[in-house]
Amino acid sequence: MKFIEIKKNCYYFNSAVNIGYIVSESRKQGMLIDAGLESSAAKKAIQLLQKHDLPITHLMITHAHADHFGGAQYIQKNYDVHTIAPSLEEAIMRYPILEPIYLFYGNFPMKEMRNKFLEAPSIFIDEICEAGNWAGWDGQWCIEFIPLPGHSHNQFGLLYNDILYAADAYLGMEVLKKHSIPFIVDAGSNLSTLHYLLNLEVKGMLPGHGTFESAFQETVQANIDVHQRLASHVYNMILVRGDRGISVEELVAKMLIKHEIEPANFGVYSLFRTAITAYLIQFIEEGRAVYTIHEGRPVIFSGQSSA
């Protein structure tokens, strides 16, 4: 883990899952942005802060995925921090079993899905963040909380000193190349968020996975291209079946085969299924696809076809 200064009062801990950090002009208040997958990541980050004589008084969790708040319980147990998170996401942070539950069709999840990657230790939230400016501790800070939905239902980013901590609204270029089908829950919101980022006038952005870039536009555009291409793949699979239609299960299977993905277990499969069906839901909402229940299963047709 490397502790990197972006610009005055803006830092991040570069790792597989980045942890952001901002400090006030007075150097009396400091905020961690996310907490890593587990306590070891949080410990390393705090040790580096202590080494540089930097405070930790606040913790902001951008969204309720285990790799972003898994280390938060350790922080709350060992340090006096004021924890902030978005609504809905905070409910999952308080009751982390909700994540494997919603990924497992609402059923009580199998034991193999109750792991640190899908179910982090529970935490409490002191304050729900809302879109807009937040004055903060001593009035010195000008922090803006920005909704960035799509990857998660109510993910938020944080803008401070012209630097956007963008959470998982987009992936760094190298990370994007490794993920054939990035995880999303809402395809429409995801694309809207990416276009918003593409046109945002800031001095730089930090994704949750990747490196800080002052010239971020190419990376954000690459994310847009990937999601548009995946949406096209899903839609073409629906179109080619014509009046026969395609079941949701077959659509997911064909996408996984096309992208040479063989999930190791049901938990990983559920992540890909969620992302793929996000595109399908968008098509249904737009009227470009329709469905019917046939022989006990949902069958999808193009909006141009008749069910």
Q: Residue 305's pLDDT is what?
A: 47
Residues 6+ apart with CB under 8 A from 212: 4, 6, 12, 204, 205, 206
CB 114 within 8 A of CB 270: no
Give CA–CA dist 47/71, Å, rounded.
14
Tell me the CATH number for domain 228-302: 1.10.10.10
CB 231 within 8 A of CB 223: no
Structure token pair of residue 216: 């971020």
Angle at 111 (CA atoms; ends 105, 116), nearest 5 degrees: 95
Q: Residue 121's pLDDT is what?
A: 97
Architecture of domain 2-169: 4-Layer Sandwich (3.60)
| Secondary structure (3-state) at 99 | helix
pLDDT tens digits for range 51-96: 999 999 999 999 999 999 999 999 999 999 999 999 999 999 999 9
Domain boundaries, the chain: 2-169, 228-302
Amino acid (one-letter) located at 121: P
| Secondary structure (3-state) at 151 | coil
Distance between terminal CA atoms of the chain? 54
Of 65, 279, 269, 15, nearest to 168 by C-alpha is 65
pLDDT tens digits for range 119-151: 999 999 999 999 998 877 666 668 999 999 999
Amino acid (one-letter) located at 248: V
DSSP bridge partners of 128: 85
pTM confidence score: 0.94
